[in-house]
Amino acid sequence: DWKVLVTATVVVAADHAVRGFWWPQSVYGIALVQPWRWVEHASWVLFEDVILVLSCRMGVRDVLPMARDRATLESVNASVELQVIERTRELQRSESLSQTIVNVALEGIWMLDDQARTTFVNQRMTKMLDYTPEEMAGHPWYEFMDVDSLAGAKLLFERLQQGIGEQ
């Protein structure tokens, strides 16, 4: 604040003038001084003030672009966070709806990984096969087939893996 700087400069100049007149050794370190010595000291304080003001202005000039960039980044970050929150809500609603559809479906739904192991079965499929989801998890699909249907089911599964559908 420039008011503080001006006030401090005036106080220092007045202090040097008054103490230099009444008790010069307390200010200048010598008993006898020239009557205008306080002007020299006040000039040095003014010189320091000029250097201080210039340094402050240069610092502000250097920091201001970084502060603007930071404010822009924070604004963009806040916008992205709001989008993430909204998209997360949409995803949760969609997942909830999908889960409801899968669980109330009249058809059995059975999901496998790339090694043909069970990753998910809906309630209808567990009732059809009379197993719990926990009993089926991680096991290959063919462990749940009867011996008579196994050969045809394996052939159909191989065709599906190759991208060839039922005909």
30: confidence class by pLDDT, cuts 50, 70, 90: confident
pLDDT at 167 over 70: no
pLDDT attached to residue 91: 95
**What average pLDDT does the segment 94-100 reach?**
90
Cα separation, 18 vs 132, whole angstroms? 98
pLDDT at 24 over 90: no
* Residue 16 to residues 8, 10, 45, 132, Cα–Cα distance (Å): 12, 10, 11, 94
pLDDT at 80 over 90: yes
CB 38 within 8 A of CB 60: no
51: confidence class by pLDDT, cuts 50, 70, 90: very high
pTM here? Answer: 0.45
Q: Rounded to a whole number, what is the distance in angstroms from the first to the last CA of the chain?
A: 86
38 CB-near residues (< 8 Å, 6+ apart):
13, 16, 17, 20, 27
Cα separation, 3 vs 28, whole angstroms? 27
pLDDT attached to residue 165: 65
